[in-house]
Amino acid sequence: MRHDHIISAKQLSRADIEEVLDHAATIAENPAAFADRHSDTLLGLLFFEPSTRTKMSFATAMKRLGGDIVDMGSVESSSVKKGESLADTVRVVEGYADALVLRHPMEGSAKMASEFVDVPLVNAGDGAGQHPTQTLLDLYTIRENAGFDDLTIGIMGDLKYGRTVHSLAHALTTVDAHQHFISPESLQLPRSVRYDLHEQGADVREHTDLDEILPALDVLYVTRIQRERFPDESEYREVAGQYQIDGETLDVAKDDLTVMHPLPRVDEIAHEIDQTDHAKYFEQAHNGVPVRMALLDLILGGEPR
């Protein structure tokens, strides 16, 4: 994977995924063994949208590998405010760093930006498009808790605008997974994503009601209704709060159901779930560090141990 841009989950084969996840598991067992792997490396962070988990875990991952970061900072304090183009911004920061991590509100921005740089560029979210590193940590969490064999997963919430959903759905076609998508009709999977999944031979079914499929699920992946993605506020108000789970909801679930969420959550998962064995979303967030350490190590030329 040396010097590859990581733009979309579509580009990741089963072998690629297993390589990253296996390497992440090795790192998680003994992080100190990797503390000097990239002591002369600088990672450039270009976040045009707010981020907590993704930005901080990339920074943590790079520093735990012995490297450091250079951070563009907020859009308001950068030359973007003066009208600088994305292409010019990445060209400039490429001169300061050995790899780049980009988050941008425009779908397709990461692909476009990657055409202007020679250092590896990692897509940390491009609008409603893709979020491949979130997918890798999601898969790591799924593999650790439920496995990849004969997996039945329900993905619920904002399936139309949710880039984490689009990335994960594509990646799950590489494993033995039955995918169930639960959402209001207005927030169902985009036709293009649905078409791609069918072309890849995925076992995909769509529902508007969680109750009809919940007892069969091994994993329930919950997403928030993303207010910031809606072009019309009234459209958001029509669906806000429709899909929520609490302790009573899970009465009919399997005892070993894994509940995941890419975070941040609003009101879609009741806080009482946090204290149950089902809740894996904070573990999921923490998995971002070893997974992103593994990915950075591989694209920067490290060899799995």
Is-contact 46 93, C-beta < 8 A?
yes
Catalytic residue from among 55, 131, 178, 278: 131
Report the DSSP beta bridge partners of residue 206.
Answer: 181
Question: What is the C-alpha to C-alpha distance for residues 265 and 53, in angstroms, rounded to an integer?
Answer: 12
Sequence letter at residue 162: G
53 is known as an active-site residue? yes
143 is known as an active-site residue? no
Look-up: residue for tokens 């707010």? Answer: 50
Q: Strand locations in 19-67, DSSP E?
A: 42-47
54 is known as an active-site residue? yes
Is-contact 134 164, C-beta < 8 A?
yes
280 is known as an active-site residue? no
Catalytic residue from among 53, 207, 254, 265: 53
131 is known as an active-site residue? yes
Catalytic residue from among 23, 55, 103, 170: 103
Alpha carbon of residue 292 to chain centroid: 11
Is-contact 175 151, C-beta < 8 A?
yes
Catalytic residue from among 23, 41, 54, 223: 54
Is-contact 273 250, C-beta < 8 A?
yes
Which strands sit side by side in the sheet containing 219-222, from one edge to the other? 203-207, 177-182, 151-156, 219-222, 258-260
Question: Where in the sequence numbering do the catalytic residues fall?
Answer: 53-54, 82, 103, 131
